[in-house]
Structure 1
Amino acid sequence: MPGSTIRRIEGAAALPAELRGAAVAIGNFDGVHRGHQAVLGAAADIAHAEGRPLVCLTFEPHPRTVFRPAHPVPRLAPAPMKARLLGALGFDAVVEQPFDLEFASHPPEHFVAETLARDLGAGHVVVGFDFRFGARRQGDTAFLQERATALGIGVTLTGAFADEGGNIVSSSRIREDLMNGDAAGAAALLGYRWTFEGAIAHGAKLGRTLGYPTANMALGEDGLLAHGIYAVRLRRADGTLHDGVASYGRRPTFDNGAALFETFLFDFSGDLYGEAASVSLFAYLRGEERFDGVEALVRQMDRDSEEARALLTGAAPLSALDARICFP
């Protein structure tokens, strides 16, 4: 991903001296959607105006997963992908604060005095209007403003961010769109085409026998994305981009096995096995189907490929971030 160089730091106490005094955006930022970008953009503006480093403080794993381990949050952007997105937004570093029940038990004054002031040496912090922190979520934005200001840390609060229909943008809405096969709806809320990363692995090579060899990737969250056919763009580790059509699902015509994301790249020949790659979803074309035979399946795959080619040829960036992620 061009322009995405960023330092990943495990824990606030490990922040290097040259990044102290930063403008710090604080939050989980799962998905780095348009609402998150309002917070992140405010921090970037402050860093630029005041000549400060630009740092994001986030928490790993997702706090909701820590509190409810039997119901982990399906991640829109696991830590490596989140870091790449933050790098594309111009952040110098992301502090991935280890989050466990012991950290969650600290009182809110501990978070301000130790994490923000002592460990990060924050010059200015930016949070959303509904930011809560500390044991039993006792700390709120008023508490943060009072305690941080007393320690010489500037505080900026951002308001709720609504979409063009007046509805608040949230990670849960994006997850719902993806689960319903609404790739365009998810992209509208994210401000970029949803992108995931993974290693390309060997599969059963069924596609090769059909004239459609595929790059196979396992999606970490099987319940996050609707099974079906997608128009996609794949970025290799060397930065090159390749358009394609992908199938995500259990291959009901063949083995109905474990869910797999299989991408056929247009006008490409080569060995991708073992490479790390990212895939961006441009459109959901249709649901997963079971065909009576191989010939019927191949005819439909031909139609899917034509539709995907046409759609990708006419695609334009949704934003500057989308241009950095999904375009040359």
Structure 2
Amino acid sequence: MSPRGEPIGLPLEHGAVVTVGTFDGVHRGHQDVLATLVRRAAEQSLPSVVVTFDPHPLEVVNPAAAPPLLTLTNEKLAMFAQSGVSYVAVLPFTPRLAALEAEQFVDDVLLGRFALRELLVGHDHGFGRGRLGDIEVLRQLGHRRGFQVTVLPPVHTPDGHAISSTAIRRAVAGGDLARAAAGLGRPYSISGRIVHGDQRGRTIGYPTLNLEPLPERKLLPPDGVYAVRVQLPAGEYGGMLNLGPRPTVGDFQRRIETHVFDASGDWYGAHVRLDFVGRLRGTRPFPGLEALKAQLAEDEAQARVALATARPAAPLS
């Protein structure tokens, strides 16, 4: 179905300030775009609109090259909700949408559906079939169609690296959580529902919350034990998380289990977010449950220190 003429039910009769992108991670560069979007919209008394896509465009145009995701759609929406934007439109990315030329995408989608008055994009933005709609093409279209194009420069980490989703994915996959947090402006996180486990942890004094299996597209750091902040309905707690198998008890399924410090309760079915603070060690077998219990006590001590000394993410540069 062509996007032209599809109603979206938004009060955009006077136009809107719009940004378009995948926004995987909603990292500090994206946050800069969103803050500018909100400010520019307020200056013109117009609504601000984020147009994003699901699934990731590469899953449609080149599945073999599609990256694992820093943020699933529900996680992105939670971040957008904190940004102050007026509306978020999640467009289904289909082969038909991918085939639109840049000019047709602007006419049918941005102008036809979102009443574009000003478009904010990053310095490396590309759109339309083959990403041929670069900044110069956008400016030409804006001149002809009567909308303004504002191009924003990249945002850098304190050590001078340009922030990108690709660089953050590399950091997470390599277990460099500090570099990932520097790019994201917050700890890397995963989220999901708490489900029943085998309750083996209770027998050695370390009960755990078991997270439901995550979608395969969600990027996880390497297997191991991590210090985490646990965001529960009852509030925020410290904890330690085991990601991966449990070779000591002969369980080689990859699991996500978290022992929460200084809290107890029945949270089955609740939604939890786990913020990675630091990696404590890799996964390894122990000769028995007593040796495992001793190691967990050491892990807890290290996790509490890591949580107490963790620095907040650096402000935008």
TM-score when normalising by structure 1: 0.88
Q: What amino acid is aligned across from residue 182 of structure 2 in structure 1? A: A
Matches within 5 A, 1:34-113: 34-70=28-64, 72-113=66-107
Assess, with a 3 A threshold, how the Cα gap between structure 1 residues 149 and 258 changes in structure 2: closer, same or farther.
farther
Residue 231 (structure 1) aligned with residue 227 (structure 2) = yes
1:283 alignment counterpart:
278
Contact residue 27 and residue 58 of structure 1 kept, 8 A? yes
Aligned residues: 311
For structure 2, the 5+ residue unaligned runs are none
Assess, with a 3 A threshold, how the Cα gap between structure 1 residues 232 and 49 changes in structure 2: closer, same or farther.
same
Residue 252 (structure 1) aligned with residue 254 (structure 2) = no
Matches within 5 A, 1:121-140: 121-140=115-134
Deviates further, 65-74 or 253-262? 65-74
Contact residue 234 and residue 244 of structure 1 kept, 8 A? yes
2:169 alignment counterpart:
175
Q: What amino acid is aligned across from residue 260 of structure 1 in structure 2? A: R
Aligned Cα root-mean-square deviation (Å): 2.3
The offset of 1:208, in angstroms, is: 1.6
Output one character per residue of 1:196-229: Cα deviation in whole Å (capped at 9) or x when no partner.
2111111222212221111111233476311111
The offset of 1:254, in angstroms, is: 1.7
- Identity, % of aligned positions: 37
2:8 alignment counterpart:
15
Assess, with a 3 A threshold, how the Cα gap between structure 1 residues 280 and 203 changes in structure 2: closer, same or farther.
same
Q: What amino acid is aligned across from residue 229 of structure 2 in structure 1? A: R
TM-score when normalising by structure 2: 0.90
Output one character per residue of 1:160-214: Cα deviation in whole Å (capped at 9) or x when no partner.
3332333222212211211221111110111111122111111222212221111
The offset of 1:248, in angstroms, is: 0.5
Q: What amino acid is aligned across from residue 167 of structure 1 in structure 2? A: H
1:214 alignment counterpart:
208
Q: What amino acid is aligned across from residue 17 of structure 1 in structure 2? A: L
Between the aligned partners of 2:123 and 2:66, the Cα distance in structure 1 is 25
Alignment equivalent of 1:200, drawn from 194, 203, 206: 194
Residue 263 (structure 1) aligned with residue 258 (structure 2) = yes
Q: What amino acid is aligned across from residue 285 of structure 1 in structure 2? A: L
Q: What amino acid is aligned across from residue 150 of structure 2 in structure 1? A: T
Contact residue 57 and residue 94 of structure 1 kept, 8 A? yes
Q: What secondary structure, in the 3-state scheme, does the structure 1 residue paired with 2:297 have?
A: helix
The offset of 1:247, in angstroms, is: 0.7
Between the aligned partners of 1:26 and 1:216, the Cα distance in structure 2 is 36
Between the aligned partners of 1:171 and 1:186, the Cα distance in structure 2 is 10
Assess, with a 3 A threshold, how the Cα gap between structure 1 residues 81 and 15 changes in structure 2: closer, same or farther.
same
Between the aligned partners of 1:169 and 1:140, the Cα distance in structure 2 is 20
The offset of 1:55, in angstroms, is: 1.9
Q: What secondary structure, in the 3-state scheme, does the structure 2 residue paired with 1:131 have?
A: coil
Assess, with a 3 A threshold, how the Cα gap between structure 1 residues 213 and 85 changes in structure 2: closer, same or farther.
same
